[in-house]
Structure 1
Amino acid sequence: MSKNNIWYLAGPFHRYTEDVKSLAKERGLRIVDANATAGREDAAKDVPDVTVRPELNISGVDSSGAVHSAHGDLAAVQALVDSLADGQLVKPESGETANRLFGLLTNIHSGVQGLRDQLESETEKSRALQHQVDDLLAQAAQARLAGDQGEAKEVADLKAKLDAANVTYRANASKESLQKQVDELSKA
């Protein structure tokens, strides 16, 4: 790095009409914020001329009136935010921004309320369907129990027939094998 290559320039750098970073790069300079440093050692002698952007002026409006209007609008927005924090959305008395914000918040509230209603409806449907599922499961369990009891009665009847005919059978014989033995008795 050569000596005297520092360009002391008051920041922020976006306030200049020129692109100060590219100007510095073209000339091999390093920019240092003049507001942040007290000394000016190694300051470059040949630095580009730059201009500060003009302040934003609202044409035809007194700047104090614009500031007063902005403060009123800000106060209306603050009142709207405070009412929302208290749990109620109160329409502001004045302020274009506050009224637009009120409209947006009202639309959001309506959308959320619609979603809440839809959620309640779907929850009720879910409860009804769960009740139907529980009823069907209970009916299936009763049908299984009745089927098991019916089969046990048939097995007991088959065993009684075989006992009456003094035919031996396995104690854990299946219904089909017992039925086969009873059918053989009928043939004999």
Structure 2
Amino acid sequence: MRGSQRQQPDGSFPLLSNGNERYPVTIRGLETPTSQAPGNQPLLDIHAKLSLDGTVIAAAEDVLESMGEGARAFWGHATPGSAALDIAEQTSPTLAGPPCPTHLGWLNHWAAAAAKAIGFLAPSHDADLLSRSRRTATGGWVVRLANEPLDLDNPTHLDALLRAYERFPKIGGRVTPR
């Protein structure tokens, strides 16, 4: 891995890269201070950039789970950049904060607290999602919305995303906590 191990003045950690131009992997992180974070709890945003070929797609669930579990994350997602940006731009500016996810993605990592916060794991409502989900070692979940990375121009993918938002209205700040 390339990159410095020193934290940056803005709270981020520097870009790390595997240096492989055929299969580039980059990871970066940025701290969100308490004053700017939903729920007034400091957060560390970790972003990984991977090429979306068959090898990476096949390993994506394991990578997301490893990053989420290793960072003890409340939640996370893996979504191609263009779809992730479109989804994030539709998120409410006032969010409840951890552990509730701010948005959904192609693959979703929810810690046990996040799954509970959004009401996941109601077998009568979640049978379809459960068929594409797996439990993590710490009691969280990795949930796949579509078989391949989200493409918002694909009606099947858009429908899966819309159904998931309908099922979990707390995600994205569409329901105000009581």
Q: Same fold (TM over 0.5)?
A: no
Higher Rg: 1
Band the TM-score falls in, shorter-chain normalisation? under 0.3
TM-score (norm 2): 0.19
**TM-score of the pair, normalised by structure 1:** 0.18
Structure (1/2) with the larger helix percentage: 1
The structure carrying a bigger strand percent of its residues is: 2
